[in-house]
Structures are given as C-alpha cells and as structure tokens.
C-alpha cells in the first residue's frame, strides 16, 4: 500500500473484508507476490483495482456462491438476462467476472471475449464497444522485433492447478480479441481498435519464455488455451483461436493471419483421429472424453471449419460425432441448420 498509494483505500477495505470472506484475499496475495519481484505495471494496477472492487461489491451484498464456478455482471447490460446482475452504488463494469472457489471474482479475458463476440454477431455494437473499450487499459504492451504486442493477462490459477507462473495469457482470448477489435474497427472506423487488434495479433509471435502460447507439436503448430501446460492440446480452444485469426484476416487483410489459420487447419486434421475415442470426442488430444456441452461445441466448430475451408474431413467428423450423440440416446445436432447458420453469419 505504501508503494501504490492510489490503491491504499481499496486494499485496506479488501483486507478487512477478507477476514469474513477469505476469497477476497487471493488477488492481494497474487499481486503482492508479483510486486515483491518487480514494480506492478499500469495495467496490473488497473486489474487489481477492478478485481478488488468487484469482490467488495459482491460480498457486500451476498455470501460466497455455493458453486465452484459462477459468472456475474456488475452492469445491467449483459448478454443474457439469466446472468446474475449485482448492483452496487459505487461500482459498475461491463466486463464479466468469474468466481472460482478460493480465488474470488476474477476478470477473465476468455469470458470477456465470449461476451464481446455475442454482442457483435447479434448486431449489438454499442454493447460490444463499451466492453472492449473498458478492456483497453488492461492490455499489457511489450516491444518485440515484429512490433508492439498486446497481451490480456490472467492473474489467477485455474481450478486444479497450483504453483503455475502468473500471469499467463490464453490463445483463446488473444486470438478472438484480435479478431473482435478488428471487427469493431470495421464498424466504427476508430483507429484505436485497429491498433489494439494489430498488437494482439503480434502476440502470436511471442516466444514461450516471454508469454507465448503457440507450440510446435508433432501435429504442427498448436494454439495453447493453457500455455502453462504445453502438452495439453485443447481442441475447442485451438479452433476458437483460429476463429479469431480468421476474423482478424477478414477485417484487416493481413496475410500472416491467414497463414497461421491455414497452419492451424492442418494441425486439426492431423489430431482428429487422436481426439476420437470411437464412441465420443475427446476434450484434448489423447485426453479425457469431453463433457456433452463440449462434444456439441466440437461438432459446431467442425461445421464452422468445413464452411470456411471446404475440407470434407471436418464435415465427416462432425457427422460422425453427431452420430455418437444418437448412439448414447441423446438428441442430435441439426447439421443442416448449423451449416446454414455459419453461411449466413457475419
């Protein structure tokens, strides 16, 4: 608090509140650990302030959620009415906050990218701009040979992990947000958003030791949703990253993005046999079976890849994995409707 007087009040309130609600102390511990090694950046100070204020707002109103995972909004403007809205007189934010037991409410760029994508694809440009504009001060900017790289860092350990290096950045949000800022620039003409898109795309050339998330594997390049586990090749995270690269190329014409996208296409083709148990799709390459919601997401993503590439391999696997649903007595996805939906999408 002595080093960062602007945070003295909010840290003091959070520390006092943590005596009753210990989850609030987690971000204080995380950022204190970083501050013992180096000075916090301007973006980190913004994130810590935002996180503590969100926690203080929520816990002034409610007991901790009774689930290990919970998403709330501190704004009336949210993608779905079913997302709980928490109203506080002294705090509002268009960003989603994700609760993990033991970690409190966290700003999570992956969830933010999902909300922004929903807004843009449904024509709610004003809501998308409000969210993406609020995120801009939270971007870390680093210089490298390919130009300035923008990074939306994560400052918590996901459930089931301990002792990982913080912060870390997910390919999922880096790719999608590069595409979404480019899309928002296309809608508004605001050069600030184009600059943000360029910086985020440049992050794909960061080395692993500098926070990179692109891994060379036996299957080809892989975009790591969780780069602290380079052997954990998550199928949906890889393809969604590619979706962001495709959007970025569409709205900027940058051929480097198309090259990365095409490389990702080839790696998906190589891994599909190792993402198939013979009865169900796997969450990651040679990993566990996917939950039903992820299995259905895999089908939708493969349909999307088929429409964008014309490669029959993706449609064949989408049909195969759709049949697995029926074999388990579950309702199949309507592939014709999905194909039409992708073809008609922006």
What residues does 214 pair with on adjacent strands?
A: 223
> Cα 143–145–150 angle (5° rounding)?
40
Longest CA pairwise span in the chain (Å): 62
Q: What is the reported pLDDT for 321?
A: 98
pLDDT tens per residue, range 100-110: 999 999 999 99
Tell me how far apart the alpha carbons of residues 107 and 43 are, in angstroms, rounded to a whole number.
13
- pLDDT tens, 151-161? 999 999 998 88
The three-class DSSP label of residue 217 is strand
Whether residue 1 is predicted with pLDDT greater than 70 in this model: the reply is no
d(CA 212, CA 221): 13
Nearest residue to 88 (alpha-carbon basis) of 79, 45, 97, 30: 97
pLDDT reading at 269 higher than 70: yes
SS3 106: strand
Residue 234 vs residue 163, higher pLDDT: 234
Q: What does the pLDDT look like over 233-258, one tens digit per residue?
A: 999 999 999 999 999 999 999 999 99
Checking if the pLDDT of 331 tops 70, the result is yes
Summarize the confidence of residues 4-12 as an average pLDDT: 91
Cβ count near 196 (within 10 Å):
26
Query: pLDDT of 169-223, one tens digit each?
Result: 999 999 999 999 999 999 999 999 999 999 999 999 998 778 899 999 999 999 9
For 101, other C-beta atoms within 10 Å of its C-beta total 14
Task: Name the pTM for this structure.
Answer: 0.96
């Amino acid at each position: 608090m002595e080093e960062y007087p602007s945070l003295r009040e909010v840290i003091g309130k959070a520390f006092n509140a943590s005596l009753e609600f210990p989850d609030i102390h987690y971000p204080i511990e995380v950022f204190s650990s970083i501050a013992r090694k180096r000075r916090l950046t301007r973006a980190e100070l913004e994130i810590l302030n935002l996180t503590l204020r969100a926690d203080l707002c929520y816990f002034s109103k409610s007991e901790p959620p009774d689930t290990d995972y919970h998403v709330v909004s501190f704004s009336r403007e949210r993608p779905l009415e079913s997302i709980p809205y928490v109203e506080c007189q002294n705090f509002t934010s268009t960003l989603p906050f994700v609760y993990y037991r033991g970690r409190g409410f966290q700003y999570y760029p992956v969830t933010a990218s999902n909300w922004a994508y929903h807004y843009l694809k449904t024509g709610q440009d004003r809501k998308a701009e409000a969210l993406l504009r609020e995120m801009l001060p939270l971007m870390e900017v680093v210089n490298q040979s390919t130009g300035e790289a923008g990074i939306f860092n994560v400052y918590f350990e996901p459930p089931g992990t301990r002792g990982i290096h913080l912060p870390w950045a997910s390919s999922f949000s880096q790719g999608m947000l590069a595409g979404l800022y480019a899309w928002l620039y296309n809608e508004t003409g605001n050069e600030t958003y184009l600059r943000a898109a360029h910086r985020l795309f440049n992050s794909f050339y960061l080395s692993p030791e500098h926070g990179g998330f692109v891994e060379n594997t036996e299957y080809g390049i892989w975009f790591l949703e969780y780069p602290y586990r380079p052997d954990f090749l998550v199928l949906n995270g890889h393809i969604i990253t590619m979706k962001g690269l495709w959007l970025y190329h569409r709205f900027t014409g940058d051929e480097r993005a198309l090259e990365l996208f095409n490389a990702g296409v080839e790696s998906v083709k190589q891994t599909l046999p190792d993402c198939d148990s013979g009865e169900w799709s796997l969450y990651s390459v040679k990993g566990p079976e996917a939950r039903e919601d992820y299995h259905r997401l895999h089908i939708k993503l493969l349909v999307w890849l088929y429409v964008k590439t014309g490669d029959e391999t993706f449609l064949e696997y989408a049909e195969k994995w759709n049949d697995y649903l029926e074999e388990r007595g579950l309702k199949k996805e309507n592939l014709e409707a999905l194909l039409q939906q992708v073809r008609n999408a922006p």
